[in-house]
């Protein structure tokens, strides 16, 4: 077998598989799949977003994180007198949520820079080959999968914000439906130029010039200097032992990687044989681990601002700091009542993840986001920017309060598990702050409970939010009731939901077989070569 890929849709997975069939490696597969996802998964990700790629090479025993998340814009320019920054409201049924769009919501887009550099650094195939599946979709249009079409419909105030977006997402006076074709004018020309020029197209080429000119004319903050000076950070993984395994997680800008490592260090203190899966005891332990991580998070926020990154990570993950939280968990389990919860801010919801392992064991986990999109198309390009400057949780001191050129934080945390130096599992998720809980439970399902990969990915999940344990449909009702009688606040979901993430994962089984599992909450699909 040449490799496996799990991704957020069948076209995304097929693009990765095509690269493996052509002799490409896991990096080639991931890059080509990501480029396709920006069209095939347009309900959740776009070209104008940013992301994190995490890879491990067992031949060299080396891992590296490509951090191409967004920077704040505005280098070398004064703020316009009037910003293009508008609020829209989306009705989710049980609640509404505000989103902020417009040119001034656009942060520096990292996707093109990161993927091009990843391909050059570790891929085998040339960029035009990697872009061909996406270019074909751009020429022909994409038949909308149900999950993507339904997401666009849910977010219709965003995707019908301007006439140009309405022409793409609602050409017949309503949002595009499952099975209908979506076409983005001018995108094929932009991708043809990208295949010829590489990242230079967005660094200083026609796309950069058009993007910046539109920003300057319409109340935006992004400048030519922002694009010229943007750097993809290539950094070492956070490495922690977990039982018989070694876990690799991304460091900042990934807040999610550090917090996931903290949760796992707590969980490692407990013998999971005493916590049968899906039992009340298991639910109680998950609640307490998540609550303890939320209580610890303010220390991370403080240390990450005042200490060098390595020193902040070392202090936060030090056993002397972790142990008191474990003691609190033990006390809560012993007394059968919940420890104090702590709230945490939400994050960008529209995210997609893919995982790849090739025949040589080279592993890639890649997560991207566009926030929800900035609500417009850059004229004549088919390029839809992000709205990361309009995400309230990323700007706790207020919108546009961070200085230009600062890397924004993210919950993205593509994770890789090693056993004996070989890739054992690659996972990650979309889903804002639910990214951590999805990854934590997927890892534990495989490593602690030995569940088959597809079952580990698609088992019912829980997530702690504002002191309430959100229980997805599928958990044992008796266990949930028992937990509730112990005093734990619970919210029962009557159905499965994208709320609980999308942990598309790949693994190497004990007998050496490569496995892949798509998360069916988010249109997951797999391909094997």
Cα 272-515-249 angle, rounded to 5 deg: 60
pLDDT value at residue 283: 97
Tokens for 373, please give them. Answer: 């999109």
Tokens for 368, please give them. Answer: 């991207």
pLDDT value at residue 96: 66
Tokens for 41, please give them. Answer: 């998964």
Helix (H) / strand (E) containing 14: helix 10-21
Percent of the chain with pLDDT over 90: 84
327-375 pLDDT, tens per residue? Answer: 999 999 998 888 877 766 555 557 899 999 999 999 999 999 988 899 9
pLDDT value at residue 510: 83
Q: Which of 255, 351, 367, 369 is catalytic?
A: 351
Calpha distance 215→103 (Å, rounded): 6
pLDDT value at residue 267: 98
pLDDT value at residue 15: 98
Cis peptide before 253 (omega within 30 of 0): yes
Calpha distance 350→51 (Å, rounded): 12
- Name the CA dihedral angle for 495, 373, 369, 21, rounded to a multiple of 10 degrees: 100
- Name the CA dihedral angle for 155, 39, 371, 43, rounded to a multiple of 10 degrees: 20
Count CB atoms within 10 A of the CB of residue 527: 24
Residue with tokens 């967004």: 70
pLDDT value at residue 511: 86
pTM equals 0.95
Question: Is 442 designated active site?
Answer: no
What residue segments make up the domains of the chain, in order of their start? 235-347+413-514
Tokens for 217, please give them. Answer: 């004319």
pLDDT value at residue 409: 93
312-326 pLDDT, tens per residue? Answer: 999 999 999 999 999
Mean pLDDT per 10-residue interval, the chain, length 529 residues: 93 98 98 98 93 96 97 91 89 70 97 98 97 98 93 88 94 94 97 98 98 97 98 98 97 96 98 97 97 95 95 97 97 88 61 95 96 93 95 81 94 96 95 90 97 97 93 95 95 90 94 94 94
173-220 pLDDT, tens per residue? Answer: 999 999 999 999 999 999 999 999 999 999 999 999 999 999 999 999
pLDDT value at residue 341: 73
Tokens for 322, please give them. Answer: 């972790």
> Which CATH number is associated with domain 235-347+413-514?
3.60.20
Tokens for 297, please give them. Answer: 């998070």
> CB neighbours of 313 closer than 8 A, spacing ≥ 6?
238, 251, 258
């Amino acid at each position: 077998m040449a490799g496996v890929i799990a991704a957020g849709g069948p076209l995304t997975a097929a693009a990765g598989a095509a690269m493996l069939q052509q002799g490409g490696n896991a990096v080639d597969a991931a890059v080509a799949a990501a480029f396709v996802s920006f069209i095939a998964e347009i309900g959740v990700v776009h070209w104008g977003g940013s992301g994190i790629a995490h890879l491990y090479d067992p031949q060299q025993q080396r891992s590296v994180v490509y951090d191409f998340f967004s920077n704040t814009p505005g280098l070398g320019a004064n703020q316009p007198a009037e910003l293009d920054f508008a609020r829209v409201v989306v009705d989710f049924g049980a609640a509404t949520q505000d989103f902020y769009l417009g040119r001034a919501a656009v942060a520096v887009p990292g996707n093109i820079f990161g993927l091009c550099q990843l391909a050059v650094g570790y891929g085998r195939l040339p960029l035009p080959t990697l872009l061909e599946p996406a270019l074909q979709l751009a020429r022909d249009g994409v038949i909308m999968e149900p999950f993507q079409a339904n997401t666009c419909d849910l977010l219709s105030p965003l995707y019908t914000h301007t006439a140009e977006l309405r022409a793409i997402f609602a050409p017949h006076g309503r949002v595009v439906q499952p099975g209908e074709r979506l076409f983005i004018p001018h995108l094929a020309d932009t991708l043809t130029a990208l295949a010829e020029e590489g990242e230079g197209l967005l660094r200083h080429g026609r796309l950069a010039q058009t993007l910046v000119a539109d920003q300057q004319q319409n109340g935006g903050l992004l400048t030519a200097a922002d694009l010229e000076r943007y750097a993809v950070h290539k950094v070492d993984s956070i490495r922690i032992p977990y039982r018989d395994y070694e876990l690799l997680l991304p460091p900042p800008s990934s807040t999610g990687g550090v917090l996931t490592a903290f949760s796992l260090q707590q969980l490692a203190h407990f013998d999971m044989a005493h916590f049968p899966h899906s039992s009340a005891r298991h639910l109680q332990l998950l609640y307490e681990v998540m609550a303890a991580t939320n209580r610890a998070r303010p220390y991370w926020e403080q240390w990450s601002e005042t200490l060098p990154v390595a020193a902040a990570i070392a202090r936060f993950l030090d056993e002397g700091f972790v142990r008191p939280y474990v003691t609190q968990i033990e006390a809560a389990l012993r007394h059968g009542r919940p420890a104090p919860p702590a709230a945490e801010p939400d994050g960008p919801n529209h995210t997609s993840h893919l995982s790849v392992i090739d025949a040589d064991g080279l592993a890639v986990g890649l997560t991207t986001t566009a926030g929800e999109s900035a609500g417009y198309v850059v004229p004549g390009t088919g390029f839809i920017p992000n709205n990361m400057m309009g995400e309230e949780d990323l700007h706790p001191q207020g919108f546009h309060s961070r200085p230009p050129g600062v890397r924004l934080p993210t919950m993205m945390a593509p994770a890789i598990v090693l056993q004996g130096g070989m890739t054992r599992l690659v996972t990650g998720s979309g889903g804002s702050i639910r990214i951590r809980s999805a990854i934590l439970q997927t890892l534990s399902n495989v490593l602690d409970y030995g569940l088959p990969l597809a079952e580990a990915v698609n088992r019912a999940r829980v997530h702690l939010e504002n002191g309430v344990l959100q229980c997805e449909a599928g958990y044992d009702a008796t266990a949930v009731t028992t937990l509730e009688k112990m005093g734990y606040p619970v919210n029962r979901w009557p159905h499965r939901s994208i709320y609980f993430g999308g942990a598309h994962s790949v693994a190497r089984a004990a007998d050496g077989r490569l496995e892949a599992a798509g998360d069916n909450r988010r249109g997951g699909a797999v391909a094997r070569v």
